[in-house]
């Protein structure tokens, strides 16, 4: 009987792990069982969702035919102001300096940074907007390159969230909960779909900063939570060691590393047979993945061999490792290696004061590279199977935080309405969904909650968000908790 057939029978018959290990001659494969399932999608299909979940393994196949094979999420940490970038409000120009009407605010919650203000003077954007594309979509002069790709983009101008402060808001977008400890979005994708490249993680994280200090990012945002540890996001860094502890220590060559892993696998298997703790196998699978990554990662992370026209397309910053632009180039290379979920975090958007100057700096740091990524994917024939998402954790309010002048103002957090954009696999092109009031304060048409957005992206990847679950401490969890609906008008 073949190994795969025996594994299939093991899952369906729900044999004990001890019996399974004793009946199969797996060697390292026993310790890397989850990796094998993930790499062999035909086997994963035979195992089926229920059996895979029972075994704590990647499900490894979509619920239905996906539109998007992979996702690149350009997360703008700190919350960019939609009023300066994508949601034009001429009413703010008419009422500049006047107090936000109570009929608009309706006593809604404010942060402690502005709740004590005696007035809430309306602040129009300092920057001009124009119409672009076949459908006359409004975009700020701060985003000249993005304005050139609007025919490929869907703007969602009616996003909203309950979270009003950065950490819970970012955590909510990335894990479906405002509290830490839940699996991250990319981890759910890894668990649900497995990996198409056994030499690379299914979920990779890239970090960059646009200006000085900003809201911190924590590892909980790419944590596997209560999912098996093989689904944790792997942070790739710029420099000679893109992944910590991936390279061999001094005096250890690849052959020695292989012998060490073989010996370690035997020790781990003995420990597993005593404790029956699945994390022992998952840990060994991670060691095996690291061994394979030693060859695959350096070549992928080396962008020095990219042609000059690529650097010209993405901008001069793309030649500087660790910048947003360089990470966009890396994101394209990673999805070419079949990484399913690439998460870019770009810090620097928290502009409570000095917003006109600071948002100009931030917009410049992302505009050209974001648009170039879309064009690059498109010219390579990859955009039709890759979903690109751009946006932050919430928006910015219509009134000035602190003193308002014609040249300077700030904006406080605003969870009630904000804008993100999507492009690529399965979403409409040149399309605007949702509408806010004349002040950009409340949504008046087609609201989209964070859980709705998560459900929609998962749907594009062929995942029914209500069916991708994991039982933990007696409860079945999912990314969208008990909420969320697919926003079908966004889809083609």
Alpha carbons within 13 angstroms on the beta-carbon side of residue 253 total 1
For residue 239, the model assigns a pLDDT of 67
Between 178 and 286, name the one with better pLDDT: 178
**Considering only 236-250, 333-347, 366-380, which range has the smallest mean pLDDT?**
236-250
pLDDT beyond 70 at 311: yes
Q: Quick one: DSSP state of residue 173? A: H
For residue 435, the model assigns a pLDDT of 98
Alpha carbon 170 to chain centroid, angstroms: 11
How much of the chain, in percent, has pLDDT values that exceed 90? Answer: 68
The CATH number, out of the four listed (3.40.50.300, 3.40.720.10, 3.40.50.1820, 3.20.20.70), of the domain defined by the range 54-249+276-490: 3.40.720.10
Read off the pLDDT of residues 40-86 as tens digits, 9 standing for 90 and up.
343 334 333 444 444 445 567 899 999 999 999 999 999 999 999 99
Q: Quick one: DSSP state of residue 115? A: T
The domain spans of the chain are 1-31, 54-249+276-490
Q: In which residue are the tokens 């709740």 written?
A: 115
Residue 367 host element (H or E): helix 355-379
How much of the chain, in percent, has pLDDT values that exceed 70? Answer: 84
- CA of 132: how far to CAs of 145, 146, 407, in Å? 11, 10, 26
Read off the pLDDT of residues 238-280 as tens digits, 9 standing for 90 and up.
766 777 666 767 777 777 767 777 787 778 777 777 777 777 7
From 433, 332, 330, 324, select the one nearest 381 (Cα to Cα): 332
pLDDT beyond 80 at 298: no
């Amino acid at each position: 009987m073949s190994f795969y057939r025996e594994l299939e029978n093991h899952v369906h018959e729900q044999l004990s792990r001890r019996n399974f290990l004793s009946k199969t001659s797996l060697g390292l494969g026993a310790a890397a069982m989850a990796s094998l399932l993930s790499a062999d999608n035909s086997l994963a299909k035979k195992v089926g969702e229920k059996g895979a979940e029972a075994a704590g393994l990647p499900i490894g196949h979509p619920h239905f035919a996906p539109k998007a094979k992979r996702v690149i999420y350009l997360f703008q940490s700190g919350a960019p102001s939609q009023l300066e970038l994508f949601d034009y409000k001429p009413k703010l120009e008419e009422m500049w300096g006047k107090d936000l009407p109570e009929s608009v605010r309706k006593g809604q919650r404010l942060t402690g940074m502005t709740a004590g203000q005696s007035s809430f003077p309306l602040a129009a954007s300092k920057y001009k907007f124009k119409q672009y594309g076949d459908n006359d979509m409004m975009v700020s002069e701060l985003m000249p390159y993005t304005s050139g790709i609007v025919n490929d983009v869907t703007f969602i101008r009616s996003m909203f969230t309950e979270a009003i402060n950065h950490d819970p808001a970012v955590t909510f977008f990335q894990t479906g909960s405002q509290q830490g400890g839940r699996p991250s979005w990319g981890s759910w994708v890894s668990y649900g779909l497995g990996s198409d490249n056994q030499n690379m993680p299914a979920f990779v994280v890239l970090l960059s900063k646009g200006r000085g200090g900003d809201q911190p990012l924590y590892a909980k945002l790419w944590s596997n939570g209560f999912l098996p540890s093989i689904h944790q996001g792997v942070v790739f860094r710029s420099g000679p060691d893109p992944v910590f502890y991936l390279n061999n220590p001094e005096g250890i060559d690849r052959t020695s590393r292989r012998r060490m892993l073989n010996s370690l696998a035997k020790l781990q298997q003995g420990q597993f047979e005593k404790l029956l703790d699945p994390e022992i196998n998952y840990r060994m699978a991670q060691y095996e993945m690291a061994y394979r990554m030693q060859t695959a990662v350096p070549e992928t992370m080396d962008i020095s061999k990219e042609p000059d026209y690529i650097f010209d397309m993405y901008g001069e910053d793309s030649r500087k490792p660790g910048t947003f632009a360089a990470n966009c180039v890396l994101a394209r290379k990673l999805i070419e290696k079949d990484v399913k979920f690439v998460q870019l975090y770009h810090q620097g958007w928290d502009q409570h004061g000095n917003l006109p100057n600071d948002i100009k700096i931030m917009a410049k740091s992302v505009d050209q590279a974001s648009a170039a990524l879309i064009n690059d994917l498109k010219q390579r024939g990859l955009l039709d199977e890759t979903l690109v998402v751009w946006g932050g954790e919430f928006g910015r309010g219509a009134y000035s935080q602190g003193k308002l002048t014609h040249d300077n103002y700030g904006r406080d957090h605003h969870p009630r309405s904000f804008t993100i954009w999507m492009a690529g696999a399965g979403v409409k092109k040149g399309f605007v969904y949702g509408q806010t009031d004349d002040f950009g304060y409340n949504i008046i048409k087609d609201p989209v909650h964070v859980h709705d957005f998560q459900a929609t992206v998962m749907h594009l990847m062929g995942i029914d968000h209500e069916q991708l679950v994991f039982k933990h401490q007696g409860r079945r969890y999912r990314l969208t908790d008990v909420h969320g609906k697919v926003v079908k008008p966004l889809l083609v």
